[in-house]
Structure 1
Amino acid sequence: MEKLKYIHWQDEGFWLGYLEEYPDYMTQGESIVELEENLRDIYKELTSGNIPCVRKVSELQKKSTSVSPST
């Protein structure tokens, strides 16, 4: 099973969180278990192709710039 990283915290009796790859889509639960279920549901929806203009985080490899020593 694929693992998904998520960020979570507790506030006023609720667990809040979002998927690291999709930080714009936050959810909550009354327990950490419910939060994780809701995050799985969000992931399924976001990757279904049914929601237009989904924003996600990706990584970009920096291009190395080598400087030649001047002689």
Structure 2
Amino acid sequence: MTFAHSAESFTYWRESDGQFLGHLNVYPDHWTQGEDLEDLKVQLLDLHQEFSKQDLPGIRKVGELVVA
């Protein structure tokens, strides 16, 4: 069995208390945090999986429009 992998870009920063905050760029209104960068990535993956399950009401997404 083969699984397809995809990549999602994310934005992150480190706060003065050492916590890492970030969000998936496709869901910029939904931030999460982690104790370190790897923990933040785990939290972001959880968000992605939850938001990808269904079309949840109130979840704003970023789209792309191609203009000719």
Q: Compute the TM-score of the two structures, normalised by the length of structure 2.
A: 0.84
- Give the ranges of 4+ consecutive aligned residues of structure 1 lying more than 3 Å apart after TM superposition: none
Q: 1:6 aligns with which of 7, 10, 13?
A: 10
The equivalent residue for 2:53 is 48
Greater fraction strand: 1
Q: CA RMSD in A?
A: 1.3
CA distance in 1, matches of 2:55, 2:6: 21
Larger radius of gyration: 1
What is the number of residues matched between the two proteins?
63
Letter in 2 for 1:13: G
TM-superposed deviation, 1:50: 6.5
Higher alpha-carbon deviation: 45-54 or 23-32: 45-54
Q: Which runs of 5+ in 2 are unaligned?
A: none
Q: Compute the TM-score of the two structures, normalised by the length of structure 1.
A: 0.81
The equivalent residue for 2:28 is 23
Change (3 A) 1:29 1:53: same
Q: Percent identity between the aligned chains?
A: 35
